[in-house]
């Protein structure tokens, strides 16, 4: 599965390019609307073309991401997959209660994180060493909070609550709690 960092890079490029274009467009409009010249009326055809473009863009964005972002399909249909490993993690009193000190995962394993809150609403996210986010989900008490993820490379990850649960929740961090290792090296 493609690393989420690659998806973020693509998004950054696309949005930055869009921002540059729209800022230049408004600047161009500001110059032109105050400048002298022949007044040309905006034809309705241009307007309807623009509306059509927005419609196509709005719908196609989600179709494209659904078919290109690898975890999107797996996430929506996660009950159809059989995980290679399942980790049940409990959260209570602003503490993650882990099944073991370190969660060890083989590369390319599909892993199900089943996180259960016993009091407040929390978040559950995995972060790389450079603090960038791998993924996250909400952890709502009284409901099933499960996330299926396939790890495509070796690495060490930190668990952090990604939802505000009061000032006490800010430091809900388990450093290097998840380790992804090459296949056939675990017991």
Partner 1 sequence: MSFIKTFMNGEEGLFKSETLTPMQKLTLRFVVVGLFYFGFVVIEGMLMRLYEVKPLPFITEPQFFAILTAHPLVGIFGSTYSIVFGAFLFLVPYLMKKPLWSIKLGNWTFILVAVGTFIFWFAGFVSHYAPLYTLYWPLPADFTQFSVWGGTFFIVGIALVMVGSAFFVINIFKTITFTPDGWEKQPSKALLASALGITGFRNLFTKNKKEHLVPLPVAAVARGSVDVALNTVIILFTGVLILVFMIAAIMGIDLKSTAIDALLYKNWFWWGLDLIADGLVLIFVAGTWYLLAMMISGKPLFMQNIARAALLVELVVSWTVWSHHLLSDQAQPAILKVLSGEMVTAFELITQGLAFFITLATLWSARPLKMTNPLKFLLGGLLGFALAVPAGIMQADVGLNRILHNTQWVIGPHVHVAILVGLTMTLYSAIYLLFPILTNGAKLYSQKLANIHFWCHLIGGIGMGAFMGMAGLKGMLRRSLYVNGEFNLMMILAAICGTLLLIGFLAFFYNIVMSVGVKGVIDIFLPSKVKGKNLLPE
User: Taking CB under 8 A as the criterion, which residues in 93-132 touch partner 1?
Assistant: 119-121, 123, 125, 127-128, 130-132
Residues 155-184 that bind partner 1 (CB under 8 A): 160, 162-168, 170
* Smallest distance from partner 1 to CB 4, Å: 5
Indicate the residue among 2 and 97 with the shorter CB distance to partner 1.
2
- Is residue 75 at the binding interface for partner 1, with CB under 8 A as the rule? yes
Cα–Cα–Cα angle for 147, 153, 156, nearest 5°? 75
Which of 143, 154, 47 lies closest to 108 in space, CA to CA?
Answer: 154
Residues 17-46 that bind partner 1 (CB under 8 A): 18-19, 22-23, 26, 29-30, 32-37, 39, 41-42, 44
d(CA 104, CA 181): 7
Indicate the residue among 80 and 101 with the shorter CB distance to partner 1.
80
Per the DSSP assignment, residues forming a β-bridge with 114 are 88, 146
- Is residue 187 at the binding interface for partner 1, with CB under 8 A as the rule? no
Q: Are 28 and 20 in contact (CB under 8 A)?
A: no
The token pair that represents 64 in the structure block: 């494209």
């Amino acid at each position: 599965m493609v690393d989420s960092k690659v998806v973020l890079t693509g998004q950054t490029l696309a949005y930055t390019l869009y921002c540059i274009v729209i800022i230049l467009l408004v600047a161009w409009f500001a110059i032109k609307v105050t400048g002298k010249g022949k007044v040309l009326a905006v034809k309705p055809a241009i307007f309807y073309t623009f509306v059509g473009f927005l419609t196509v863009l709005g719908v196609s964005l989600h179709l494209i991401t659904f078919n290109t972002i690898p975890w999107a399909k797996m996430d929506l249909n996660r009950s159809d997959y059989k995980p290679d490993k399942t980790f049940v993690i409990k959260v209570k009193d602003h503490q993650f209660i882990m099944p073991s000190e370190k969660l060890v995962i083989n590369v390319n394993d599909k892993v199900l994180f089943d996180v259960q809150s016993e009091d407040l609403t929390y978040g559950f996210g995995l972060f790389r060493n450079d603090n960038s986010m791998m993924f996250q989900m909400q952890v709502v008490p009284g409901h099933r909070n499960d996330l299926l993820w396939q790890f495509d490379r070796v690495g060490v990850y930190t668990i952090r609550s990604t939802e505000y649960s009061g000032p006490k929740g800010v430091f809900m961090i388990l450093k290097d709690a998840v380790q992804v290792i090459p296949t056939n090296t675990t017991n």
